[in-house]
Amino acid sequence: MPGSVVVAGRRYPAMTVATVLLNLIAVAMLSLTLLTWRPDNNPRSALVALIVTAVAGLVWTLARGALLEQRDVAVMVALAFGALAALTWGTERELAAFANGSSVPMLSVFAVWFLAIGLARVIAYVGTAVWGLAIASHADETLLVPAVTVAVQVVVATEVLGRLRARLDQLARTDELTGALNRRGAHALVTQQLTRRARLGTPLTVLALDVDDLRAVNNRDGHPAGDAMLRAIVDHLRSGLRPGDEVGRLGGDEFLVVLPGADHGVGDVVARRLAEGAPASWSVGVAEARADDDPAALLARADARMYERKQARRGLDQA
């Protein structure tokens, strides 16, 4: 659940900020090691190469900014694990070899928090195994127990934090009543899809839905009946969507349907299809993302069109 961080009055993705810090720490630690270098320590050429790599990662992260993706971070973390293994294999000092492994649990935690859990497991466990092989290359039995301790720490940190993150993600992004995305989850999804659109040029369309009869149902039959209707609406919406489409509940009777890869024409077709056999009537606004859209602008345009439809329907009813 990466979220965002405010720095100097501006909001940045937490993953971007953390990756900047990770690269800065790597540059600082490698530079300190280089300044205190001794012949039997980590190879000097490897240290220089790794400093250059960390600086390149820092520059890339700053250049990408909010567009930084998980695959960028995955490559950087994998390179960091490879660097630790290379330094461990190349040093002649057993203490320095083991000290390199002190960063292994930290990298694993970083991967679990910011990457998909499956990808994080692969990187953490493969990276730890490669570092363990580098430790084994020293053929020093005194390093065996400490190395196993590091491996156990990686497994515990990865599995415990991974499950904690999955649970927190679910609680933070899901509407408890209907199981749909809540407002926070829906906005996060739209932000993610807008970023994807900016990178790949694929269309993105959203539907803003406002249910007509919820208040009347609550007043006539009670809130449990209204809650049941809301759950039925979400079930109906999901049954008519493609894999990859998502439903969010933004408020009491307001819903959002996110259609990645769909243009405005497809959105109109989906809106008409979803209205057929629905458990309640609603007004819907369709909006396709534009090049300069942020989530607020896209959703505001969908809302405006939805209210236009609602007013038009009221006019017809009164007529």
For 168-201, write each residue's pLDDT tens digit.
888 889 999 999 999 999 999 999 899 899 988 9
> Domain check: are 72 and 211 in the same one?
no
Q: Both 10 and 156 in a single domain?
A: yes
Query: Which residues are part of the catalytic machinery?
Result: 253
Token pair listed for 106: 């930290």
For 252-263, b/e burial (b = at least 16 CB within 10 A) is ebbbbbbbbbbe
pLDDT of residue 221: 87
CA distances from 310 to 137, 212, 273, 305, 313 (A): 72, 9, 18, 9, 5
- From residue 85, give the alpha-carbon distance in Å to each of 26, 56, 111, 211, 259: 15, 20, 17, 58, 43
Q: Are residues 138 and 233 in the same domain?
A: no
Q: Of 135, 150, 173, which residue sits at a domain end?
A: 173
Domain that holds residue 160: 4-173
Q: Identify whether 91 is part of a domain.
A: yes
The whole-chain average pLDDT of the chain stands at: 88
How many domains does the structure of the chain reveal?
2
The pLDDT value given to residue 300: 95
Higher pLDDT, residue 41 or 120:
120
Which of these three, 173, 191, 207, is where a domain ends? 173
Q: Give the per-residue pLDDT at 122.
A: 95
Q: Does a structural domain hold residue 225?
A: yes
Same structural domain, 112 and 76: yes
Domain end marker among 117, 143, 173:
173
- Asked if residue 123 and residue 236 are part of one domain, the reply reads no
259, containing H or E segment: strand 254-260
User: Are 161 and 187 found together in one domain?
Assistant: no
- Residue 161 sits in the same domain as residue 286: no
The per-residue pLDDT for range 246-295, each reduced to its tens digit, is 999 998 899 999 999 999 999 999 999 999 999 999 999 999 999 999 99
Q: Among residues of the chain, what percentage have pLDDT more than 70? A: 93
190 and 158 in one domain? Answer: no
- Tens digits of residue pLDDT in 197-229: 998 899 999 999 999 878 888 888 898 999 999
1-5, 29-33, 140-144: range with lowest mean pLDDT: 1-5
**Minimal CA–CA distance to 142: which of 102, 98, 103?**
98
Is 178 a domain residue? no
Q: Is residue 117 part of a domain?
A: yes
For residue 312, is pLDDT > 90?
no
Q: pLDDT (tens digit, 9 = 90+) per residue, 13-28?
A: 889 999 999 899 889 9
Inform me whether the pLDDT recorded for 156 exceeds 70.
yes
The answer to whether the beta carbons of residues 259 and 245 sit under 8 Å apart is yes
pLDDT band at 40 (very low <50, low <70, confident <90, very high): low
Q: Flag whether pLDDT at 110 surpasses 90.
A: yes
Confidence of residue 319 (pLDDT cuts 50, 70, 90): very low
Query: Which of the two residues, 87 and 77, has the higher pLDDT score?
Result: 77
What value does the mean pLDDT take over residues 221-250?
Answer: 94
CATH number for 247 = 3.30.70.270
> What pLDDT shows up at residue 89?
85
**Residues 53-82: tens digit of each pLDDT:** 899 999 999 998 888 889 999 999 999 899
Residue 247 within any structural domain of the chain: yes
Residue 42 above 60 pLDDT? yes
